[in-house]
Amino acid sequence: MLRRRGCYVCGQVGHVAENCSFKDRRCFNCLEAGHESSGCLAPRSSETKQCYNCGGRGHTKTDCPSVNIQQCYACGGKGHIKANCATVDKQKKCFGCGGRGHIKAECATANKPLKCRRCGEANHLAKHCTATMPALKPKPCYTCNQSGHIAKHCPHASRIPTDPIPNASATLTA
């Protein structure tokens, strides 16, 4: 959809600067060439203003009498806005179930009750769970594979060789 924008050369709606018939930039206040509106000596007037909403003269979009005629940015239709557009509703994609025509907040599938990962019960999260944590099994020693100590304090560590076993198949060549 093409939005209404004024030409950067003459300030008129309906064309862009590339297609403007004026060669020199015009003052948006008095429409004369040779200066810009910031340096215009003429009193500020709304007579030369062109509305970006309706295309009429003598007022701006903020003062437009047709401002109540809503135009949808999605489909270009009149009388409604994008938030109420039936075309957009069909294109909405739910991030909960992957379906179309609704969003996650409206999804019957995705809005199931919460389920706790810790206890498996519904309607709360693990961070709010009051169930006791199951006891963790003690980790075995990485040296002797027995429980009750870690490799750093292993009583069997002195009996286990720490030097690498030479590889008979590996030979050095000079």
Q: Which of 78-82, 100-104, 125-129, 158-162 has the lowest mean pLDDT?
A: 158-162
pLDDT in tens, 31-72: 788 888 788 888 887 777 777 777 777 887 777 777 667 778
- Whether residue 15 lies inside any domain: the answer is yes
| Range of the structural domain that residue 38 is part of | 1-64
Q: Where are the beta strands (DSSP E) in 50-98?
A: none
Q: What pLDDT band is residue 2 in, cutting at 50, 70 and 90?
A: very low
How far is residue 17's CA from residue 163's CA, in Å, rounded to a whole number? Answer: 81
Please tell me the predicted confidence (pLDDT) of residue 148: 87
- Whether residue 151 lies inside any domain: the answer is no
pLDDT in tens, 100-152: 878 877 887 776 777 888 888 888 888 888 988 777 778 889 989 998 888 88
Mean pLDDT of all residues in 66-91:
75
- Whether residue 73 lies inside any domain: the answer is no
- Whether residue 32 lies inside any domain: the answer is yes
- Whether residue 57 lies inside any domain: the answer is yes
Q: Is the pLDDT of residue 85 over 70?
A: yes
Q: Tally the domains of the chain.
A: 1
- Whether residue 22 lies inside any domain: the answer is yes
- Whether residue 174 lies inside any domain: the answer is no
Q: Is the pLDDT of residue 86 over 70?
A: yes
- Whether residue 133 lies inside any domain: the answer is no
Does residue 174 or residue 49 have the better pLDDT? 49
Q: Which residues of 40-68 are buried (b: 16+ CB within 10 A; e: fewer)?
A: beeeeeeebbbbebbeeeebeeeebeeee
| Residue 145, C-beta contacts closer than 8 angstroms, at least 6 positions apart | none
Does residue 29 or residue 146 have the better pLDDT? 146
